Amino acid sequence: MTAPDHLLLHFTANGAYGEGGNELLVLERGEGCHVFDSNGRRYVDGLSSLFCAQIGYGYGEEMAAAAAAQLTTLPFNTNWGTAHPPALELAAALVERAPEGIEAAFFTSGGSESVEAAWKLARQYHLANGEPQRTKAIARDIAYHGVTLGALSFTGVPRFKEPFGRPAIETRHVANTNPFRAELEGEELTRSLLAELERAILEEGPETVAIVIAEPIQNAGGCLVPPPGYWPGLREICDRHGILLVADEVISGCGRLGEWFGVARYGGRPDLITIAKGLTSAYAPMGAVLAGSRVVEAMRRPGVTLLHGITFGGHPLAAAIALRNIEIFERDGVLENVRAREPYLRRRLEEELLPLPLVGDVRGDGFFFAAELTPDGGEGRFEPEQATRLVKRIVPPLLLEHGLIARADDRGDPVLQIAPSLVADEAVLEEIVVAMRDVLAAAGDEVGTIAGAAQGR
């Protein structure tokens, strides 16, 4: 198919399709860790369908059985003043697997809604404690926290925000954790990042700040791993100033880093955790906010009403599928698979990608890695137009040609990112690594040819 006549595509230059333009990739079928397009071409899904398909595409029958059982029992009920067994059971199952101190779940239909709900819970917590002046948020540069107007305030990508006017929530952005681009490393980097955060809080007025929100590993910018002690440091600063700490785990949660919650890996103890995407392995749309005891206690005080609700939040069908997803994770050793194969994936990525002239860095944890693309294979930087050309025009057709679904991104420095299905074995990981190498080698040749032609001009 060349053009989607009646469908508007998300985050896409919709005019780029049609006569003489881009070919539209239509994926029709999934099998294990692979997907097939409408022409029958096979791709290895190196991105788990935008960080969602944790268990791949091979559990359709089992998920359909869970869905059928729920749909023939109770197809729908809300969580507005009532409940149903799948929501109650799922909330308990998530709390059981969450970091210490997490006590309850509030369900949503996706990631942006989870971030909005976390903000509302935080605001109501501060109101219940007689601190209505805590109206500000601190987030990090280039971070993506979603697109609904509240979540968009936290998102640190200026071009996604500018068309929509003043952010709904006053948000200050501080540095993210990019060890490749930072001048310091290790604990020194941690100290400097935490000092910057605390300076920002003091400048804003600590009594006006409601939350600090961060991803355990920041996705935008390319799998930005926190330096040692960063998450415990965030906790200390938030405690010192009465601020709630929110871990946005929409990507890093649900097994992506080999843990149910990625913060566990970095010693984080957040007050609120947002999840979505992998909660059902995307067999149904669902998100959640998990709340710590302080927040839950405030919501349960006499006279306090939680002024937030989403009709489909906690839909019984999605909750039944999420419960089955947890069962599958535990029965089939999904977290164990990530932990066991992470060293292999890291080693093979480093072996194959670091020697390429276009790759400056390979980084990540779990089944979540990025290669940062640089003009010299070192720490040089592409001009912004060159970076955009590379990730928007050069890499995407090469990915299709090499049968790999991965993400070329230029929200920060240009990167090619992968997030394989959490059930991928070594053969699948190898297929992804080799395709990634071939794509980046070919992209490097193309960039070299363009640069050479420009010099000769």
Ligand X SMILES: Cc1ncc(COP(=O)(O)O)c(C=O)c1O
Is 216 a residue that touches ligand X (CB under 6 A)? no
Q: State the greatest distance between any 2 C-alpha atoms of the chain, in Å, as a whole number.
A: 75
Q: How far is the CB of 251 from ligand X (least distance, A)?
A: 5
Give one DSSP letter per residue of 21-66, joined into a string.
Answer: SBPPP-EEEEETTEEEETT--EEEETTHHHHT-TTTTS-HHHHHHH
Pick the closer one to ligand X by CB: 367 or 382.
367
Least distance in angstroms from the C-beta of 50 to ligand X = 7
Per-residue interface string for the shown chain with ligand X, residues 262-291, x marking contact by CB under 6 A = --------------x---------------
* Min CB(317)–ligand X separation in Å: 17
Q: Which residue is nearest to ligand X (CB)?
A: 111
- Residue 110 in the binding site for ligand X (CB under 6 A): yes
Distances (CA, A) of 33 to 59, 180, 432: 11, 31, 10
> Nearer Cβ to ligand X, position 250 or 358?
250
Please identify which residue in the block is written with the tokens 């409601």.
Answer: 210
Q: What is the SS3 assignment for 124?
A: helix
Site for ligand X in 320-379 (CB under 6 A): none
| Touching ligand X, residues 133-172 (CB under 6 A) | 144-146
321 three-state secondary structure: helix
Of the candidates 30, 56, 111, 278, which one interacts with ligand X according to CB under 6 A? Answer: 111
- Please give the size of the binding site for ligand X, defined by CB under 6 A: 13
Does residue 115 belong to the site contacting ligand X (CB under 6 A)?
Answer: yes
**CB proximity list for 375: less than 8 A, separation 6 or greater:** 358, 381, 382, 386, 447, 451
Query: Closest CB to ligand X among 108 and 386?
Result: 108
* Among 151, 153, 64, residue whose Cα is nearest residue 110: 151
Q: What minimum distance in Å lies between the beta carbon of 364 and ligand X?
A: 15
Could you say which of 37, 215, 413, 431 contacts ligand X (CB under 6 A)? 215
> Least CB distance from residue 233 to ligand X, whole Å?
20
Verify binding: residue 431, ligand X, rule CB under 6 A. Answer: no
Q: Does 221 contact ligand X by CB under 6 A?
A: no
Question: Looking at beta carbons only, is 83 or 147 nearer to ligand X?
Answer: 147
Report, in Å, the least distance between residue 90 CB and ligand X: 18
Q: Where are the beta strands (DSSP E) in 286-373?
A: 287-292, 359-365, 368-373
Residue at token pair 């394989």: 420
CA distances from 295 to 98, 107, 257 (A): 15, 15, 26
Q: H-helix or E-strand containing 71?
A: helix 60-71
How many C-beta atoms surround the C-beta of residue 208 within 10 A?
A: 14
Residue 246 or 387: the one with the smaller Cβ distance to ligand X is 246
> Closest separation between CB of residue 27 and ligand X, Å?
18
Q: Which C-beta is closer to ligand X: that of 258 or that of 360? A: 258
> Of the two residues 244 and 251, which places its CB atom closer to ligand X in the complex?
251
Select from 111-119, 177-185, 410-418, 432-440 the region that touches ligand X (CB under 6 A): 111-119
Burial of 46: CB neighbours in 10 Å, binned 0-12, 13-18, 19+: buried
Find out whether 288 and 94 touch, Cβ atoms under 8 Å. yes
Helix ranges (DSSP H) in 155-284: 158-161, 186-204, 230-241
- Rounded Cα distance between 59 and 49, Å, is 15
Task: Specify the residue, 352 or 409, whose C-beta has the smaller distance to ligand X.
Answer: 409
Distance CA(368)–CA(277), nearest Å, equals 14
Pairing of strands 136-140, 171-174: parallel
Minimum CB–partner distance for residue 230 and ligand X (Å)? 17
DSSP secondary structure letter of residue 225? P
* 414 contacts ligand X (rule: CB under 6 A): no
Take residue 164 and report the two structure tokens written for it.
């929509």
**Contact pattern from residue 227 through residue 266 relative to ligand X, giving x for each residue in contact according to CB under 6 A and a dash for the rest:** ---------------------x-xx---------------
Considering beta carbons, is residue 210 or 298 the nearer one to ligand X?
Answer: 210
State which residue, 247 or 447, has the beta carbon closest to ligand X: 247
Summarize as ranges the residues that interact with ligand X (CB under 6 A).
110-112, 115, 144-146, 215, 219, 248, 250-251, 276
